[in-house]
Chain A
Amino acid sequence: MQKKGNEAKISPVLAYTMFDWKNVKKDFPIFEKRPDLVFLDNASTTQKPLVVLDAERDFYLKSNANVHRGVYEIAAKADQLYEQVRTEIAEWIGAKPEEIIFTKNATEAANLIANGLATTLGVDDEIVVTELEHHANFLPWLEAAKRSGAIVKITKLGVNGGTDVVSEINEKTKIVAVTQMSNVMGIGPDINEILMAAKKVGAKVILDSAQGIVHSGLRVDQHKIDAAFFTGHKLFGPMGTGILFLRSELSGINPLLFGGGMIKELPDQWLDTPHKFEAGTPNVAGLAGLSAAIKYLRQFDVKEIAEHERSLVKMAREELLKIEDVRLLSPQNATSMVSFVIEGVHSHDIASILGEEGVCIRAGHHCAKPLMNALGVTASTRVSFAMYNGPEDVEKLISAVKKVKEIFT
């Protein structure tokens, strides 16, 4: 068992991986309900362990009340829970509790920061993003630029999924918004290098950690990022929970949402951060679930999970390459995913046939159109792993892909 504190048991069959994914899988009830499910769409969303479902249900069963509104016992409990989750997440990523803002997903968090920073930008100021970005870390910056007159510079995709961000950073750069890990390529640019270059010219660094935090973790005390965001549902937590880490120095930016729970004095004296950014009723039950998900995840060593996923990536790559007309798009060192095309077969047809075989993968542009253009494809197929996947899943994937080839030749 790899849960920390327990000794690792190495099965002879799976000697290549230390990770006891079979036991982990038992924590996820969907695999009991659907024993044949081959779920390889984890970069899109992950399955939920029972502890997460229980935590959500527990909130509604035992202490459902709104936050910031009531003085009765269960309302106070809801408040306490809400702030406790904030503290836990802060501790996990090395931030202060008041630097953690709850949103409904990564997209809302990205919009919050881009909208808030837009008013600080002027004509000819530059925002640097990469061709690897998910639309969530791309479109909000285009909008911010439209409103402020700033210019968005997009760094080109280089060899092996790399991109040279640093040489695009200069005195005009005010913001560098980059992905920690691309949701198509499974790798990201060197954040330390970017931070060094950005700090020299006083630019802010914003990190899209939606994929990265799951497979590499996030420490904002080690990397002096100005803001970072991620989404609960890719972290084994519930949908409808997102986190923006906003360094205290930036807490003066404008809120994105206005309404209840964010005002000190009418008409426009806001509460202090983080509450000024959290208008309206938040997803308290979801956050209880997210807290359980993070606790669940923290039992494991993130490096061990990454290593396990890498061994699955390696196996999938080797087997896919044996199939005629398969072309891999993602690099060899991708942590948790393999993106590919089959020449002559559209990715949606691949996904349909795999779907019929019970293999869940994603096809399309993956909300990363600049990257698709750079790769010279309109769509691609992505296989993405999580800690509960094993070699069996790869075997089923490969036999389904072979079936695609049979149908289309």
Chain B
Amino acid sequence: MDIYGEIILDHFKHPRQSGLINGAEAIADDLNPLCGDKVKISLKIADGKIEGFGFEGDGCAISVASTSILGEQLVGMTLADFEKMNNEEVLTKLGVPISPGRIKCALLGYSCTKKAITVYKHSHE
């Protein structure tokens, strides 16, 4: 199957939850030094649950689309469930095969979200 399928291209051209959330509880940015993809993620968190997801990204279609797709899944998810997720699951949800050279792009949004949540948890312990 083609990596640049309709869904990926649609999310790239029209990213969901694009833009940062004002007054977000958790925020982080990350960078893929290989290709210079940049992403910034903000999360609204209440009662151990992700209530809102907003991001800003400058990068390739894979990094932007994968972050957009991830965001759709995360809204409404508890932090406990988020922690149970792993790289493979994130990649599977994209629905297209990701070549080894593009895995970092496809996981950029996920790793950035993990970073934001780790920081959030440290400050709420």
Contacts and interface: CB of A to CB of B under 8 A. Distances in A.
Contacts of A407: 4, 9
Given A378-B58, A408-B9, A349 B4 contact: yes
A349 B62 CA distance: 8
B3 A352 contact: yes
Contacts of A130: none
Interface string B70-103: 0000000000000000000000000000010110
A408 B9 CA distance: 8
Contact of A378 (B36, B99, B101): B36
A352 to B, nearest CB: 6
A345 B61 CA distance: 8
Interface in B96-121: 99, 101-102, 105
A210 interface: no
B7 interface: no
B98 to A, nearest CB: 10
Contacts of B62: 348-349, 352
A175 B9 CA distance: 49
Contacts of B37: 346, 348
Contacts of A349: 4, 60-62
A364 B60 contact: no
A363 interface: yes
B46 interface: no
A379 B4 contact: no
A276 interface: no
Nearest to A404: B4
A353 B4 contact: yes
A349 B102 CA distance: 9
A204 interface: no
Interface in A191-215: none
A347 interface: yes
Contacts of A317: none
Nearest to B4: A407
16 contacts: A346-B35, A346-B37, A346-B59, A347-B60, A349-B60, A349-B62, A352-B3, A352-B99, A355-B99, A356-B3, A364-B35, A372-B36, A378-B38, A379-B36, A407-B9, A408-B9
Given A349-B61, A364-B36, 18 more contacts: A345-B61, A346-B59, A346-B60, A347-B35, A347-B60, A348-B35, A348-B37, A349-B4, A349-B60, A352-B3, A352-B62, A353-B4, A365-B36, A378-B38, A378-B58, A379-B35, A379-B36, A407-B4
Interface of B: 3-4, 9, 34-38, 58-62, 99, 101-102, 105
